[in-house]
Amino acid sequence: MLAITSDDLANLECGLTARRHNPDARVVLRIFDPKLAERLDKAVELDITRSMSALAAPTFAAALLGAPREQPLALPGVPLRTLEAKLSKDSPFAGREIAEIEAENDLRVLALEGCWSPAPNTTLDAEARVAIVGTREACDMLLGGHIGVP
């Protein structure tokens, strides 16, 4: 169940109601207030609570500072990083479907060639520009020879 309205309290109420009706339901909340999102992560048994402003802040800061997109951006308090880069010519991911790559690695493809949310059955071409979110290890692995700086 996704609760992604612009009202933090409405999202929290929806998440708690869903959990009450189905304790096995996967619940994801969009919370604007980063402090509230952090408190909910620690105190309430929901699956994922994220502050969209906290997730977006490192990307805006990197753009302001002119940081290269090929450099993974760490998100404070979140064990994930974002990365945008070009696949190298010899990438083992070239010619493979996004769903297969995501299933085998701790990452999600956010965009392909600037288009958000590519279909899972989309095949990645060599030298394609991809944006991902993933663990530190997944980003390091992708930068370690599988993704090249254009």
| CATH code of the domain covering residue 78 | 3.30.70.1450
Residue 31 inside a domain? The answer is: yes
Residue 50 token pair: 């994220």
- The per-residue pLDDT for 98 is 93
Q: Give me the DSSP letters along 30-57.
A: EES-HHHHHHHHHHS--SEEEEHHHHHH
Query: Cβ–Cβ contacts within 10 Å for residue 91, how many?
Result: 21
- The per-residue pLDDT for 97 is 94
Q: Which domain, by its residues, includes 23?
A: 2-54
Residue 59 inside a domain? The answer is: no
Residues 6+ apart with CB under 8 A from 110: 82, 116, 117, 131, 132, 133
- The per-residue pLDDT for 145 is 46
Question: Which residues are registered as beta bridge partners of 51?
Answer: 31
- Smallest CA-to-CA distance from 138 within 87, 101, 95, 97 is with 101
pTM: 0.52
- The per-residue pLDDT for 33 is 77
- The per-residue pLDDT for 137 is 76
For residue range 21-48, list pLDDT tens digits in order: 998 888 877 777 777 777 777 777 666 6
Parts of the chain with a pLDDT under 50: 145-150
